[in-house]
Amino acid sequence: MKIKGLIFDLDGVIVSTEINHFDAWSAIAEQLSIEFNEADNEKIKGLSRSDSLDVICDLGSIQLTYYEKLEYLELKNKMYLDSIQSLNKDDLLPGVLHLLKQAKKKDLKLALGSSSKNAKYILQKLFITDYFDVIIDGNDVESPKPDPEVFLKGAEGMGLNVEDIVVFEDAESGILAAQTGGFYTVAVGNRKLKNCADECIDHLGEFLLKNYE
């Protein structure tokens, strides 16, 4: 495969914010008296904020009203944002900067494909916004992951065909989305995905562009 473009998920691929999402959801689940553990968290990784709350409520067989749901979503986001206040370049996961720089040198197109509505804010905090030709986040899609819309919009923005693009993902919902869209998939930092992704690596430092020229 000769790669022409790369699409990166954000949380858990570029930056170590998955733990902050998990901690905030754990606090919400506790308020709702719902048992929520790391295995449950695997099911919501990559989903939109709203879909994540639905899954957590299903775990506890709880039904919230429309307004209760809005309140919990706001509270979760407030806790999450408070916890990432001091996020900075040191929180970039291993190999990220090197791969972004190498890809730029080789004139590859780069896109972000994230379910997060906080994606642009986080990229700014990490000082890596300018590496991306296209940024598609939770504000830009009607159908969140596992629907392929976020990645298809990324491909369209880059002006490339899906078969020329690699998608990096740490979540099952994201790998499914990319596969449904017809992309080459690389699971990052999640060995449980090794059977469903085309490739599985521990961090982006293991992905060598020279193997795809």
Q: Which residues are catalytic?
A: 9, 11
Measured from the CB atom, the residue of 4 and 148 that comes closer to ligand G6P is: 148
C-alpha distances in Å from residue 165, one per residue of 3, 58, 67, 70, 188 = 6, 35, 40, 36, 16
Measured CA to CA, the distance from residue 165 to residue 178 in angstroms comes to 10
Smallest distance, ligand G6P to C-beta of residue 55, A: 10
Stretch that binds ligand G6P, among 46-54, 61-69, 182-190, 203-211 (CB under 6 A): 46-54
Burial (CB < 10 A; 0-12, 13-18, 19+), residue 212, is: middle
Among 114, 179, 185, 190, binds ligand G6P (CB under 6 A): 114
Residue with tokens 């193997």: 211
Determine the distance from the C-alpha atom of residue 150 to the mean position of all C-alpha atoms in its chain, rounded to a whole number: 10
Instruction: Give the angle 177-84-20 at the CA atoms, nearest 5°.
Output: 55
Stretch that binds ligand G6P, among 42-50, 91-99, 160-168, 202-210 (CB under 6 A): 42-50
| Structure tokens belonging to residue 58 | 């299903």
Smallest distance, ligand G6P to C-beta of residue 94, A: 19
Instruction: Give the angle 45-50-53 at the CA atoms, nearest 5°.
Output: 70
Q: Per CB under 6 A, does 138 bind ligand G6P? A: yes
Smallest distance, ligand G6P to C-beta of residue 122, A: 8
Among 43, 69, 117, 120, binds ligand G6P (CB under 6 A): 117
Helix and strand element counts for the chain (H, E): 8, 6
Q: Per CB under 6 A, does 154 bind ligand G6P? A: no
Write each residue from 54 to 83 as x if it is in contact with ligand G6P (CB under 6 A), else as -, in one continuous string: -----------------------x------
Report the interface residues with ligand G6P, using CB under 6 A: 11, 21, 45-46, 48-49, 52, 77, 114-118, 138, 171
